[in-house]
Chains A and B, each alone.
Chain A
């Protein structure tokens, strides 16, 4: 349910030092256009849904993945103003949920809450962002492992330019009983401007012995080795940075099967003639 008015969103599951300003995001969504979608996949069913999110939207997508079902959700946030989004999912035994999200601008608060309740359920997230000017993104992803042998793979890649401010909070929560669960989370951030601000908060919470969890983050400029390699092949430095930035987004765009959407994204990125 979407609650109106000023409220705390994207609450970090385990709060930390207040001075870092990552414990929550506050927004008043009274003026927003609201939309709620429910996607239910029956046993053995496969479903793919695609949403293009515009300005001043408060959207909520709830996913129910039954036994052996597969749901793929693609969301492209092409926002100039503000947007608030929530994706929640419940996965039954062997249920699979693949999430592809692309953030192309605006001021977005986005939460993803996935409950891996069923045995061997699997969550796969590929998230990309290309933010510049005064864009803001507060992203709070929680993968709740309750079922045995559940698995989550979270890959976040992005580029920050201009005065963009991005906070990515990614939590892998192994609850007691999630025997044999695995969770891996990785974020790669490329910073292109002096003013951009990047906050990365990768949590692992663990109340079970027999689990494997890992997270990694790499933040900064283009690796000097990459620059050297490409320069030695005659590519100028500005072009190298551009190429690296494009490749970060391309890895997420490649997960989108819909040709029209891909064209629209590339057009939006000023690469309309790109035949990727």
Chain B
């Protein structure tokens, strides 16, 4: 009989705690012009934003649901609460954050991480940011890291936000981008001036506590020429039986010669529909590096897009997806080569177990003007049992002869030969298999920030069972 490797489900005890919300804090569920206006009133939106929200709602109403990808039938948007009012305003002093929220983030280790290894932290609880802070020396270098809503009301940034907000991901992009345009709330605004290198990362952490609610944060990052930033995004929510919805939007503008590293660890609970849209516009010799770990959610649609718009621009995407019981995770990336000598590299791993479904979906488009461009895609999938599913759906659309495009994909199980080799060198079969699974994920996990890499190793905690022979 063949030995089976048992990979334990992700331990969610760290995330599955929650606090009660007061009924009065919720706006009605569903999406109507009245609710959108109420959100605008609540936020004291400028006129252009009021109009933008209503226009997005119109687009939402007339846009059809996607006709590909995992089923989202279990999601009833009319029952999702789109906005939850916070009792307190945003704080820059941790001590002033309300106790229950403070305790939530302390359990998740956010303030500790800030003290030890971050240049700045933003924490969003349901619809609003509750805490935002940057180190003094970072602020002095001209870096702006604030919540998007304060920035909209600040005369210094209002124009820059108006000219960038949902310009990369317009509400017409797809139904949930339109929904985001109508009900967005919270999120961060980051601006890194010319030639400023931030050696330590900034981090935003999103926590959805309320039951049957949606989170629609908007992240807008602008890097000027020659700037460097590492931005980390973490997401989690406790488990409820009602479906939750995350339809965030991330817009990244990477200037000439600038580099942005954007790391995400998504660990929503398994009742969440994660329909997130992320897009980066990269100018001449700029560079975007995506590091993406997808572990949570019931259903995920997540494909960060990089538009390489200037000569020599570069995109790298490193991703890992772990689909367990009850999960259907459709992840991947899209890269548009829209300038000469651009290059892209995609490296993904996916693991399916206990009936989980993981799909790698990608698009590499090399346009007529992308002369001298190069692209390489490598995806590997590991099936840990025969009740799970793993699909690979890549598309390459190539429109110039002056390019080199390569694609490689592999699917399989733990190789008996590898196990045999390792056991012949004195490892037990259990150790050998554990080592192979860790090794499979290794080149992705080493790209993760340290604390997340440790978390991921814990997530892929291995348990072996069965006797040899």
Contact = CB atoms under 8 A, between A and B. Distances in A.
Interface of A: 14-18, 20, 22-23, 174, 176, 189, 191-221
14 contacts: A17-B334, A23-B68, A193-B401, A200-B396, A201-B393, A202-B407, A202-B409, A203-B394, A209-B386, A211-B413, A212-B412, A216-B408, A219-B404, A221-B404
Interface string B376-405: 000001011110111111111111111111
Interface of B: 67-68, 334, 359, 361, 363, 365, 368, 381, 383-386, 388-413
A15 B401 contact: no
Contacts of B407: 200, 202, 215-218
A16 B395 CA distance: 9
A215 B406 CA distance: 11
A191 B395 contact: no
Contacts of A174: 411
B51 to A, nearest CB: 27
Nearest to B413: A209
Contacts of A212: 411-412
Nearest to B389: A207
A219 B361 CA distance: 19
A149 to B, nearest CB: 15
Contact of B395 (A20, A192, A206, A214): A20
Contacts of A206: 381, 383, 389-391, 411
A204 B398 contact: no
B324 to A, nearest CB: 15
A15 B396 contact: no
Nearest to A177: B386
Given A15-B67, A18-B67, A209-B384, A197 B397 contact: yes
Given A191-B398, A199-B396, A206-B383, A218 B67 contact: no
Contacts of B404: 218-221
B386 A17 contact: no
A208 B413 CA distance: 9
Contact of B406 (A196, A199, A213, A218): A218
A194 B366 CA distance: 12
A18 B68 contact: yes
A221 B401 contact: yes
A212 B417 CA distance: 14
B399 A197 contact: yes
A199 B405 CA distance: 11
A261 to B, nearest CB: 30
A191 B401 contact: yes
A194 B395 contact: no
Nearest to A204: B392
B412 A219 contact: no
B411 A211 contact: yes
A16 B401 contact: no
